[in-house]
Amino acid sequence: MPDLLLLRPLTDEETRDLRRLVHGQKVEARLRERARICWRSHEGQRVRQIMTDLRLDEKTVRRWIQRFNATGLPGLTDAPRQGRPTAYTRAEVGTVVATSLTPPDELGLPFGSWTLDRLVAYLGEVHGITMKRSRVGEILQAEGVRWRTQETWFGERVDPAFAEKRGASSPSTSPHPPTAS
C-alpha cells in the first residue's frame, strides 16, 4: 500500500472537536486513540510515522484516517454491530422479576419461598416462559434481586410459643460429677 494518506482539510469546528478528543481526560480510550491517529495525520505525519509512534499496525492507521475522511467525527465511533437478537422481551424479563418478588403463598402455591427450580417451573407452567435456570439467575442478579435467607434451626423461631410447646429439656444426660481440686 502507498504510504501517502493524509487527513482531509478540517473545518474549525472539526479541529476544535478533534483536539478535545485527543486531549480529553474523560474520553473513552478507543476514541482517543482514533482521534490521535487523525490528529497526527492532520499535522502532516505519514502513516509509517504514526504506526511507529502509536505502536499500531498499518491497517488500523489507514482504516481510521479513511473513515474520518469519509464520515468525519462520527466515523470515529464504533459502528453498530450485528449479533444475535435478544432471546427474551422486556415484558418476559419483567414477569420473571415480578414473580420472584411475589411470595409463593400469595400465588396459591404450597411452599413459602422460591428456589430457582421452583421459579423456572412456575414460569413455564403459568406464564409459558421457558427459560433455563442459569438464565433466570443471571436476570435476577442483573436486576439486583437477592434471595431471602431462610431461617434455620439456630435462627429466630417463627412460633412465639415454641418454648412452652417444647416443654422442659429431657433429663437423659446426668449432671457432671464434681471434679477434685
| Cβ–Cβ < 8 Å for 12, 54 | no
Structure-block grid coordinates of residue 100: 420472584
Among residues 93, 112, 2, 111, the alpha carbon closest in space to that of 47 is found at 2
Q: For 95-126, how does the pLDDT look when each residue is reduced to its tens digit (9 = 90+)?
A: 999 999 999 989 999 888 889 999 999 999 99
pLDDT interval class at 79 (50, 70, 90): confident
Q: Residue 154: is its pLDDT beyond 60?
A: no
Supply the pLDDT for residue 159: 67
Q: Report, as an integer, the average pLDDT of 59-82.
A: 91
Q: How far apart are CA 86 and CA 50, in angstroms?
A: 40
Structure-block grid coordinates of residue 59: 491497517
Delimit the domains of the chain by residue range.
Answer: 12-76, 85-144
Please indicate, yes or no, whether the overall pTM of this predicted structure exceeds 0.85: no
Residue with cell 443471571: 138
Helix axes 29-42, 47-54, angle to 10 degrees: 140
Supply the pLDDT for residue 172: 67
Q: Report, as an integer, the average pLDDT of 154-158.
A: 56
pLDDT interval class at 71 (50, 70, 90): very high
